[in-house]
């Protein structure tokens, strides 16, 4: 293993409610759902009709603009409900689950003995392809454009993130099979990034057939975008792919057992979670089945339920399902009560990167952070702050401004191909002008995507 | 406290859409958010936000301005009674100073905020907090003898022409407070030069002491006559000058607040001082007159150098916005200040012009820093590509 890459810039937000390393299983949900909205810029075309019976792994819909990419059912049951939103946009495909899953058989195989095309074919058919994403643009990988490399991050540095070391426990074999499959999909290398201090699991440390890198430092060191930037940056015209660890384990299962088994481990975290710990669930499970019993209730307080982490997650309610790429559910208090002179008070209970708050004097303290935005939006005023939390050789403020004025040439020069909204989540967190930075980055990516497609 | 919030909530509908005072919603909102942080929550993007906001940023700059302000108030009284040759109590000095200074501050805030509120209501955006600092800076860089109507005109000019025509706080090119001063300097030169630094209004039976001179140290050096105050007086600020600029010590206290909280840019401050000192040394080498031969360190404690370096050059909006750019920007301010002071007989104080000049050049500096970053990234891409292909 090579010398660790030191990430100096960044920020660990000390939040209360880290998940204990205990694995519970949640009861089987009555309803599971697949949400096309989990995937950016996807236009779904349905393949089944309401009332049809489906097996786990049976196709539900496909991408209108890329017919090879199909999405399959995580459980077996009856397709009972199609939830639409504004402009008849499909929000959710609900499946009433059978007691026991029946799986579509895709046939077990050793990926190392298959050709790249055969591996690709199998993953596409099983509906696991969406788990492979690409940079630039942070979207589902285009199967026809081979990547120059594939990246897997073996640790998540986001606030209260699930410990992937704990999750992979007992699934090392499937993970390795998944990696083997990835090696067939690229001419280049498969890069696996570890945390040099925290990653201990043999499944990661002794992974075969891949190039192992190690990183050390605060969040966003675990973001795959940061790792790509430091290992093999994306230039105009380049494409790299990346896969999450849990999704890779599912790909591994596909080759080991020949089925699409969407079971995964979810961390229930956050200051408002009564028993923050890990739960074994099947993808698409309802939030209520995991979280309901564990939400702290307090007079006058409402809880925000987030699928994912506090920086990049999605606001959901109990009837929603866990989103496709997420490994955690976070529960934090809503900040919907006014605070008298809150902007000037010492605020002992608030965390901030700024030393005008006493938080920096208490490095041991964990915070119960709420969702109050604390101010209206302002123009850019403070400079040099985003740079402190973005460990990339990219000028964040200049890039944001080029997006705001729609200067495509400048966006390209300043590195738009390398970034994704999640890499700028901390910039958004620290921004004293309260600018929606992740949205801005996404807008920029969308502009480039439409310009060159 | 709860009752107060309830009261505000009760009158709120009058200001909201369809209410009687709909047009003044932004004014209402400014007072509302001053009173309490609203219960607004995040909707998209990061669910939690850092507790820091613009109000807290700006209030810390104002806190950092308190030492020079208090010292300035006292010094106004001190200089006044010194000119009259009277020995009076400390409190009398403070009282005299307060009577002279506070009206200037009040006028600056009233005029500036009035215009800010009007623009915010007309353009329907939130009232920006930036002017809270500018309104405090304007009095501190003016001589105490400035008539109040001139303070009002200068403030109005700075807010309208300096800021609002560009789109408000965050969009301005020049530092508004310095623009106010520059405006007065060029529009009313007779009020802003000469023996204006000490308030010498006499009451019955009072007279100035023999041989009184109200000249600043810069004027003395530029003219080459008169006695220079000691370094001790220069550093502690027992000298004539603009209200807030005289005491280097008080300014350093403020700088400590700005640096400790991370709100003021340490890069800019230090590089201004280094630039000024370096230029002073250079002039020493080629010295042909007393001013050029003056010890370089003295530039840093004379006139408005320290005040400009700590509070004016560091304005994040008008300064360079890139890390490297900040060093260049600060350094050149220091160099230009000393250059203007020593080599230009018409303007004894170079700080104001140097900062305004570099404000204009900051975007150019940033442009080259950004281009350098683009080139660096390109070369790295090429290098990595070669490595992976090999």
For testing contact with chain A, the best of B6, B43, B53, B167 (most A CBs within 10 A): B53
Question: DSSP states of A137-205 as a string?
Answer: TTEEPPTTS--SEEEEES---STT---HHHHHTT-HHHHHHHHHHHHTT-SSEEEEEEETTT---HHHH
Q: Least CB-CB distance to B49: which of A344, A381, A434?
A: A434
The CA distance from B363 to the nearest CA of chain A, in Å, is 12
CA distance B127 to A377: 11
Q: Do A343 and B40 touch (CB under 8 A)?
A: no
Q: What is the pLDDT of residues B15-57, one digit of tens each?
A: 888 888 888 888 888 888 888 888 888 888 899 999 999 999 9
Inform me whether the pLDDT recorded for A133 exceeds 60. Answer: yes
Chain A residue with minimum CA distance to B30: A376
CB half-sphere exposure, A64, CA atoms < 13 A: 8
Which residues of B are less than 8 Å from A149 in CB distance? 388
Residue B316, chain A, CB below 8 Å: the answer is yes
Which of A39-53, A173-187, B224-238 shows the lowest mean pLDDT across its residues?
A: B224-238
Percent above pLDDT 70 for chain B: 99
The CA distance from B234 to the nearest CA of chain A, in Å, is 31
Report, as an integer, the average pLDDT of A76-84.
Answer: 92
Q: What is the pLDDT of residues B170-222, one digit of tens each?
A: 899 999 999 999 999 999 988 887 778 888 888 877 888 877 777 888 888 88
The CA distance from A58 to the nearest CA of chain B, in Å, is 33
Inform me whether the pLDDT recorded for B347 exceeds 80. Answer: no
Inform me whether the pLDDT recorded for B151 exceeds 70. Answer: yes
Q: Do B5 and A350 touch (CB under 8 A)?
A: no
Q: Write out A244-266 in H/E/C secondary structure.
A: CHHHHHHHHHHHHHCCCCCEEEE
Which residues of A are less than 8 Å from B326 in CB distance? 384
Which residues of A are less than 8 Å from B367 in CB distance? none
Percent above pLDDT 70 for chain A: 100
Q: Do A356 and B60 touch (CB under 8 A)?
A: yes
Which residues of A are less than 8 Å from B370 in CB distance? 395, 398, 414
Report, as an integer, the average pLDDT of A40-63.
Answer: 93
Which residues of A are less than 8 Å from B64 in CB distance? none
The CA distance from B82 to the nearest CA of chain A, in Å, is 40
- What the block records as the tokens of A123 is 């993953």
Confidence grade of residue A1 (pLDDT, cut at 50, 70, 90): low
Q: Do A354 and B261 touch (CB under 8 A)?
A: yes
Inform me whether the pLDDT recorded for B111 exceeds 90. Answer: yes
Residue B48, chain A, CB below 8 Å: the answer is yes
Which residues of A are less than 8 Å from B4 in CB distance? 340
Report, as an integer, the average pLDDT of A197-204.
Answer: 89
Confidence grade of residue A58 (pLDDT, cut at 50, 70, 90): very high
Partners of residue A46 on adjacent β-strands:
A61
Which residues of A are less than 8 Å from B170 in CB distance? 378-381, 433
Which residues of B are less than 8 Å from A147 in CB distance? none
* Pairing state between β A328-333 and A263-269: parallel
Inform me whether the pLDDT recorded for A373 exceeds 80. Answer: yes
* Pairing state between β A240-243 and A149-153: parallel
Q: Least CB-CB distance to B317: which of A335, A381, A415?
A: A381
Q: Least CB-CB distance to B46: which of A233, A382, A425?
A: A425
Q: Do B48 and A379 touch (CB under 8 A)?
A: no
Which of A379-383, B73-77, B100-104, B341-345 shows the lowest mean pLDDT across its residues?
A: B341-345
Confidence grade of residue A180 (pLDDT, cut at 50, 70, 90): very high
Q: Do B37 and A339 touch (CB under 8 A)?
A: yes
The CA distance from B314 to the nearest CA of chain A, in Å, is 10
Backbone phi and psi for residue B336, each to the nearest 5 degrees, phi listed first: -65, -40
Residue B10, chain A, CB below 8 Å: the answer is no
Inform me whether the pLDDT recorded for A17 exceeds 70. Answer: yes
Q: What is the pLDDT of residues B242-278, one digit of tens each?
A: 999 999 999 999 999 999 999 999 999 999 999 999 9
Inform me whether the pLDDT recorded for A291 exceeds 70. Answer: yes
Report, as an integer, the average pLDDT of B307-325.
Answer: 95
Chain A residue with minimum CA distance to B36: A340
**Would you state the pLDDT for residue B2?**
77
Which residues of A are less than 8 Å from B388 in CB distance? 148-149, 188, 232
| CA angle in degrees (0–180, nearest 5) for A418-A424-A426 | 145
Q: Where are the domains of chain A?
A: 264-361, 385-452
Q: Where are the domains of chain B?
A: 2-35, 54-205+214-373
Q: Do B52 and A352 touch (CB under 8 A)?
A: yes
Quote the mean pLDDT of chain A: 93
Instruction: Supply the angle between the helices B54-84 and B248-260 in degrees, to the nearest 10.
Output: 170
The answer to whether A326 touches A17, Cβ cutoff 8 Å, is no
Report, as an integer, the average pLDDT of B113-119.
Answer: 93
CA distance A375 to A333: 18
Backbone dihedral region of A176: left (phi > 0), alpha (psi from -120 to 50 degrees) or beta? alpha
Q: Do B50 and A312 touch (CB under 8 A)?
A: no
* CATH number for the domain formed by residue range(s) A264-361: 3.10.20
3-state secondary structure of A213: strand
Report, as an integer, the average pLDDT of A235-249.
Answer: 94
Q: What is the pLDDT of residues A252-280, one digit of tens each?
A: 999 999 999 999 999 999 999 998 999 99
Which residues of B are less than 8 Å from A421 in CB distance? 45
CA distance B3 to A446: 48
Q: Do B263 and A398 touch (CB under 8 A)?
A: no
Write the DSSP symbol of residue B266. Answer: H
Chain A residue with minimum CA distance to B4: A340
Which residues of B are less than 8 Å from A422 in CB distance? none
Identify the residue with better confidence: B364 or B202: B364
- What the block records as the tokens of A217 is 């430092």
CA distance B293 to A135: 61
Q: Do B48 and A398 touch (CB under 8 A)?
A: no
Sheet containing A77-84: give its strands across.
Answer: A31-34, A90-97, A77-84, A53-54
For testing contact with chain B, the best of A14, A369, A432 (most B CBs within 10 A): A432
ipTM of the complex: 0.91
Q: What is the pTM of this model?
A: 0.93
Q: Least CB-CB distance to A369: which of B48, B52, B265?
A: B48
Q: Least CB-CB distance to B47: which of A310, A356, A395?
A: A310
Q: Do B128 and A378 touch (CB under 8 A)?
A: yes
Backbone phi and psi for residue A263, each to the nearest 5 degrees, phi listed first: -70, 140
The CA distance from B201 to the nearest CA of chain A, in Å, is 40
**Would you state the pLDDT for residue B385?**
81
Neighbours of A382 (CB within 10 A): 23
């Amino acid at each position: 293993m090579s010398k660790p890459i030191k990430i100096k810039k960044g920020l660990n937000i000390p939040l209360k409610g880290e998940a204990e390393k205990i694995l519970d299983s949640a009861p089987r949900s009555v309803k599971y759902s697949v949400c096309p909205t989990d995937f950016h810029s996807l236009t779904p075309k349905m393949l089944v009709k309401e009332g049809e019976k489906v097996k786990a792994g049976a196709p539900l819909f496909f991408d209108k603009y890329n017919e090879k990419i199909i999405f399959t059912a995580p459980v077996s049951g009856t397709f009972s409900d199609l939830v639409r939103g504004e402009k008849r946009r499909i929000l959710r495909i609900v499946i009433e689950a059978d007691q026991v899953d029946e799986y579509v058989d895709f046939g077990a195989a050793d990926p190392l003995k298959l050709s790249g095309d055969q591996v690709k074919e199998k993953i596409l058919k099983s509906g696991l392809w969406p788990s492979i994403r690409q940079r630039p643009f942070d979207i589902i990988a285009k199967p026809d454009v081979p990547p120059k490399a594939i990246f897997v991050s073996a640790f998540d540095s986001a606030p209260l993130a699930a410990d992937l070391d704990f999750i992979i426990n007992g699934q090392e074999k499937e993970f390795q099979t998944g990696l083997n499959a990835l090696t067939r999909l690229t001419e280049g290398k498969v890069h696996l990034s570890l945390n040099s201090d925290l990653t201990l699991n043999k499944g990661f440390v002794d992974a075969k057939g891949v190039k192992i890198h190690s990183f050390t430092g605060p969040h966003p060191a675990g973001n795959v975008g940061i790792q790509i930037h430091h290992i093999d940056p994306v230039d105009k015209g380049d494409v790299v792919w990346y896969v999450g660890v849990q999704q890779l384990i599912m790909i591994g299962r596909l080759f080991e057992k020949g089925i699409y088994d969407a079971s995964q481990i979810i961390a229930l975290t956050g200051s408002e979670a009564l028993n923050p710990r890990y739960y074994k669930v099947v993808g698409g499970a309802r939030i209520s089945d995991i979280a309901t019993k564990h939400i702290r209730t307090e007079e006058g307080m409402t809880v925000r339920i987030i699928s994912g982490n506090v920086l990049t997650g999605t606001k959901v309610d109990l009837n929603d399902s866990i989103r496709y790429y997420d490994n955690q559910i976070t529960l934090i208090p809503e900040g919907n009560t006014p605070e008298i002179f809150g902007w000037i008070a010492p605020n002992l209970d608030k965390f901030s990167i700024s030393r005008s708050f006493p938080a920096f004097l208490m490095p041991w303290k964990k915070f119960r952070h709420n969702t109050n935005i604390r101010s209206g939006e302002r123009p850019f005023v403070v400079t040099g702050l985003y740079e402190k939390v973005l460990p990339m050789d990219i000028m964040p403020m200049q890039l944001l401004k080029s997006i705001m004025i729609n200067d495509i040439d400048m966006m390209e020069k300043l590195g738009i191909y390398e970034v994704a909204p999640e890499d700028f989540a901390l910039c958004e967190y620290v921004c004293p002008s309260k600018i929606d930075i992740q949205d801005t980055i996404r807008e920029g990516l969308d502009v480039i995507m439409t310009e060159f497609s | 406290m709860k009752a107060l919030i309830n009261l505000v909530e009760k009158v709120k509908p009058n200001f909201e859409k369809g209410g009687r005072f709909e047009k003044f919603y932004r004014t209402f909102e400014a007072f509302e958010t001053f009173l309490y942080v609203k219960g607004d929550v995040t909707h998209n993007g990061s669910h939690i936000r850092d507790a820091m906001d613009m109000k807290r940023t700006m209030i810390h700059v104002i806190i950092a301005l308190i030492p020079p302000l208090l010292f300035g108030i006292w010094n106004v009284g001190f200089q006044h009674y010194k000119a009259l040759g009277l020995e009076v109590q400390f409190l009398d000095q403070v009282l005299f100073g307060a009577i002279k200074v506070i009206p200037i501050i009040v006028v600056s805030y009233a005029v500036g905020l009035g215009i800010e509120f009007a623009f915010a209501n007309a353009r329907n955006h939130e009232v920006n907090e930036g002017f809270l600092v500018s309104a405090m800076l304007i009095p501190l860089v003016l001589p105490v003898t400035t008539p109040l109507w001139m303070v009002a005109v200068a403030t109005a000019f700075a807010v309208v022409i300096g800021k609002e025509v560009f789109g408000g706080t965050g969009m301005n090119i020049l530092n508004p407070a310095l623009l106010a001063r520059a405006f007065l300097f060029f529009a009313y030169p007779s009020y802003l030069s000469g023996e204006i630094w000490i308030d010498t209004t006499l009451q019955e039976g009072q007279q100035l002491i023999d041989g009184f001179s109200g000249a600043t140290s810069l004027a003395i050096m530029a003219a080459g006559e008169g006695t220079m105050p000691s370094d001790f007086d220069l550093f502690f600020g027992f000298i004539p000058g603009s209200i807030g600029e005289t005491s280097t010590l008080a300014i350093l206290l403020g700088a400590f607040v700005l640096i400790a909280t991370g709100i003021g840019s340490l890069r800019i401050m230090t590089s201004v001082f280094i630039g000024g000192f370096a230029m002073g040394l250079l002039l020493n080498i080629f010295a042909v007159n007393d001013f050029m031969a003056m010890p370089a360190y003295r530039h840093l404690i004379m006139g408005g150098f320290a005040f400009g370096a700590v509070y004016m050059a560091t304005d994040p909006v008008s300064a360079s916005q890139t890390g490297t750019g900040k060093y260049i920007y600060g350094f050149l301010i220091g160099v230009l200040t000393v250059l203007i002071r020593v080599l230009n007989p018409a303007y004894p104080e170079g700080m104001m012009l140097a900062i305004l000049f570099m404000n204009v050049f900051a975007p150019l500096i940033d442009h080259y820093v950004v281009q350098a970053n683009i080139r660096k990234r390109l070369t790295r891409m090429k290098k990595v590509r070669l490595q992976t292909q090999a």
